[in-house]
Homo-oligomer: A and B are copies of this chain.
């Protein structure tokens, strides 16, 4: 796999297209699948693990949705590249730690398959904006093609069998990456997040389980995989996300109406700092980008597109900064380079 090409081309799901893209950055669907007759990854012996790899390799080769997919053997890359792939949402932290992990990355990072994660296969598809239906259809087609070559572990009672019981059934998780700055500024975010958790959805930070919510970016996903059809899961997350979007839109309107100057002050200070600072930590970058994203969303900042801001959310992450720089950097050197990368991106956009 050509890491350099991936480094320099941000994923297409950051493109700011699709429904409600001003508030929902992206939608992701993943399916957990295991091969019939082979123990789950954590119990499998090396020959079995190798068998999974070779079977999936073969299935990918024949899959029309993955013609340009490149394969990466994680045993062959260093920790920096692994961290980079986690930041790009191409692999999970679990896969990064597995010595026999493999990942197939499809064109434009819209489809990928992790092999020998907790389950033998973790298939993922991504879209920009709130697109659970489309993203589900995409993964369903990829999965149908794969199942022509692979015999999945499946029970007519339980559905797809998975290493962890929480994934049994559909093996499906749909998540939306959502940006809720106005709900934060108006101090409604806790209430909303609590309400989400009450209706069977999980809320996480930008980088999944156990990660902090920085810059008001959240991932919302279904908890339940069993006893509900894929269509029900899709409809449910779409319905609830639309309700949250409604609250965020309302909060933005109220802020603009009642606190316009303070809002503009906050946003413009963030924009100015991103544009001028010489040293920016990754935490500060997310916080500033969040405010500038709100500013671009409400039409206050016209010089920068939401697409560039979305891309910077990923490009400003530590390993992305280092791979863009082409060298391993100390923490302080990274903060300096991050500022340069952000300013180049903002500035290039300005000239366009």
Contact = CB atoms under 8 A, between A and B. Distances in A.
Contacts of A279: 261-262, 265
Interface stretch (A152-160, A227-235, A268-276, A304-312): A268-276
A254 interface: no
Given A265-B277, A269-B276, 20 more contacts: A261-B278, A261-B279, A261-B336, A262-B278, A262-B279, A264-B278, A265-B278, A265-B279, A265-B339, A268-B276, A268-B277, A268-B278, A269-B272, A269-B273, A269-B277, A271-B276, A272-B273, A272-B276, A272-B277, A273-B273
Contacts of A271: 276
Interface bin, chain A: 10 to 19
Contacts of A276: 268-269, 271-272
Oligomeric state, in number of copies? 2
Contacts of A339: 265
Contacts of A272: 269, 272-273, 275-277
Contacts of A262: 278-279
Interface in A265-300: 265, 268-269, 271-273, 275-279
A192 to B, nearest CB: 27
Contacts of A268: 276-278
A332 to B, nearest CB: 8
Contacts of A273: 269, 272-273
